[in-house]
Amino acid sequence: MIKEIRTTGDMNVGHRNTGHRNTGNWNTGNWNTGDRNVGDMNVGHGNTGDMNVGRMNTGDTNTGDKNTGDKNTGDRNVGDKNTGDGNIGNYHSGCLCFGEAPFYLFNQKADRKKVDFGMVYELSCLLLKDDAIDPVPFLSLPNATKSAIKKLHMEHIKARKKEHGGIASRLIFEN
């Protein structure tokens, strides 16, 4: 006797998928590509959570393999927002780190809890342009000085010129 195994959902490709628009086998959720994913928009195999790329990730928005937590890039991280491999904790940049990760602003250690990340975003957008930046609105950021902001801006311009054959502003960026 042959038993028919049906997929539940719409536009699935593969076997034993539950949800919609899955490609692969044994996926539960929507828009998964690969096998044995649970959640939505996973690419790879054995992911649990949403928007993971790689294999055997648990959490959301991980890139790499065997991460537990959210927004990790690399492999075998436990925690959130790690870059590198084998980290335990949050915000580590590097490999095999544990404990509280140091945070830097203007090349000096800073307390992450005292940073206005909206202001960091605004300044980072201005750094993409060649026009002079008024540093005064950003002086409340930890370690910010007028000279540090101006030097950072000049380094951005210099790097763009080097990258684009002597032309600092190749594109016009809109905020």
Structure pTM? Answer: 0.72
Domain membership flag for residue 54? no
Does residue 5 lie in a domain region? no
pLDDT in tens, 92-139: 999 999 998 999 999 999 999 999 999 999 999 999 999 999 999 999
Residue 126 within a domain: yes
For 117, the domain range is 104-163
Residue 143 placed within a domain: yes
Dump pLDDT digits (tens) for 38-64: 999 999 999 999 999 999 999 999 999
**How many domains does the chain divide into?**
1
In the structure encoding, which two tokens stand for residue 70, read together? 């959210």
174 within domain boundaries: no
Residue 138, domain member (yes or no): yes
Evaluate whether residue 113 is within a structural domain. Answer: yes
Segment 132-165, tens digit of pLDDT: 999 999 999 999 999 999 999 999 999 988 877 7
